Amino acid sequence: MAFASAAAVGPLVAGNGLRMANSTTTQAYLESKPVQEAKALLTELCRQFYHLGWVGGTGGSITLKVHDDSIPKPQQIIIMSPSGVQKERMLSEDMYVLSSDGSIVSAPSPKPYPHKPPKCSDCGPLFMKAYQMRNAGAVIHSHGMESCLVTMMNPTSKEFRITHMEMIKGIQGHGYYDELVVPIIENSAHERDLTDSLAAAIEAYPKTTAVLVRNHGIYVWGDSWISAKTQAECYHYLFDAAIKLNQMGLDWSTPTHGPIKRIQGDFRSGESAVSAKAGTSGLNPGEPKPRCIVLDIEGTTTPISFVTDVLFPYARDNVGRHLSSTYDSPETQDDIKLLRGQVQEDLKAGVVGAVPIPSDDEGKEEVIAALVANVGAMIKADRKITALKQLQGHIWRTGFQNNELEGVVFEDVPEALERWHSSGIKVYIYSSGSRLAQRLIFGNTKYGDLRKYLCGFFDTAVGNKRETRSYVEIFNSMGVDDPSEILFVTDVYQEATAAKEAGLEVIISVRPGNGPLPENHGFKTVNSFSEI
């Protein structure tokens, strides 16, 4: 972390009108009420978190910005707790003050033995990533036991997932029915060495407000200290719940929270039939052909860009037109009923972008305006919820009927579908999009109607695509005796892992625009369906 004199902070305008351009005015601002209140607040939070077990043994740390309406948030100065000290005994005078770029403006004076010389938090570089990449107002680093143990339940997992728990509503952008996903990064001997991996996780998970560090703890940030504190409390509650559910043999990541594994039939123990090394292509000569193939859409049959750059914008831009023209139809009234219920839950949970929907008595236009605002926020957050997916499917249907949309698939897909169909292999689609949306994409391509080659469509009604139970349900729906007779093709590592655990054969699709795969992922890969 860079060091600087107080005079080097730069020309920030303080809340009391002082310009922080030289040592005199900077010192005046450092002694101002907003800064002193922020220091006092941080000492109080450190004591509270100590008693919660989050910052014991001098571990963990907290930082927050000095809120000042006259200074843009990215330029507000930062208060940060020191490293290697008893957090419950800290005083305001022990705090570091940093400029918005991480340079130290003010450091505490040394204390006599047995106190160690003052040192700014080792978490500083990681805190700065949350400030810079997420415009955070506060960041909490906890060593709470729950945040450590939850990363150890599955030593190979790169994510923590949980759904259908009340406290999920306390996490920004999430509701009760949503799946909460927290990335897990690997620990290192020195805290600063985690900086790059934490930044990569923040970038890879745009919805997350936390990153877990395996065998270590968690970093949580929020728009303000209240948001960061509230979310940290909710995360620790959810981690504790997952640990206790795991001890009871229950699966915290599924809506039913049922048994982690069924004794017979559904889950395979041990290794799946897929045991290839990463990078191996296609099916090896002599291997038995699958009786059924299940295909993902985005990144597998269809470019991801078609969904993100064509379908999503079309739905967002045509919500108002669709609702106005079909408002009185039973179908649209059902869509509105679902949206009302979802928005009501979102408002209770404090979901960003949720706005109240007026009653029908207040007029059609007012209702539609509120619906458009809510749907736009849902699409922006890429929420996998039934109310949104159902409405999107109806909007896209109109687009396809009016020849404003055309389904897109990779060039190798039609030939492969025809070849598999001719050889007696049954082909299915499994996507997070609704079954209506799936039928529209494959029924309206430049290659004609490809649905004649497909035997069925699965959506999230069978379960989340990253849950093993979903693939067990798909297996139980097909006329095969063993899940290894089903080949699942996807571009998402977590989906591949879930399908493998259910006993399916799995191949990962590598297409232009797809996200990177973990090193040594252990799955066969293909660049084209011609390899299958």
The count of residues in the chain is 532
- Residue 298 counted as an annotated binding residue: yes
13: Cβ contacts below 8 Å, ≥ 6 apart: 19, 20, 70, 71
- Residue 317 counted as an annotated binding residue: no
What type of residue sits at position 413?
V
* DSSP-derived secondary structure for 11-53: SEEPTTS-EESSHHHHHHHHTSHHHHHHHHHHHHHHHHHHHTT
Other beta carbons less than 10 A from residue 409's beta carbon: 22
- Residue 431 counted as an annotated binding residue: yes
What type of residue sits at position 67?
H
Q: Indicate the Cα dihedral angle 416, 422, 426, 432, nearest 10°.
A: 30
The residues facing 448 across adjacent strands are 445
- Residue 143 counted as an annotated binding residue: yes
The residues facing 458 across adjacent strands are 430
3: Cβ contacts below 8 Å, ≥ 6 apart: 103, 104
- Residue 500 counted as an annotated binding residue: no
- Residue 491 counted as an annotated binding residue: yes
> No. of H helices and E strands in the chain?
15, 17
Rounded (10°) angle between helices 330-349 and 364-380: 60
Pick the closest to residue 81 from 48, 49, 120, 128 (CA basis): 120
- Mark whether 362 is an active-site residue: no
CA distance 331 to 21: 62
Pick the closest to residue 470 from 480, 479, 460, 478 (CA basis): 460
89: Cβ contacts below 8 Å, ≥ 6 apart: none
Other beta carbons less than 10 A from residue 461's beta carbon: 10
Annotated catalytic residue within 166, 203, 406, 415? 166
Question: Cis link prior to 114 (omega < 30° from 0)?
Answer: yes
- Residue 272 counted as an annotated binding residue: no
φ, ψ dihedrals at 179, nearest 5°: -95, 125
Q: How far is CA 136 from CA 133, 209, 210, 232, 253, in A?
A: 8, 9, 11, 14, 28
- Residue 361 counted as an annotated binding residue: no
How much is the CA Rg of the chain, to the nearest whole Å?
26
- Residue 115 counted as an annotated binding residue: no
Is 295 in contact with 430 (CB distance < 8 Å)? yes
- Residue 141 counted as an annotated binding residue: yes
Residues annotated in the binding site for Mg(2+), as ranges? 296, 298, 491
Residues annotated in the binding site for Zn(2+), as ranges? 141, 143, 216
Residues annotated in the binding site, as ranges? 123, 141, 143, 216, 296, 298, 431-432, 465, 491
Residues annotated in the binding site for substrate, as ranges? 123, 431-432, 465
> What residues are annotated to the active site?
166
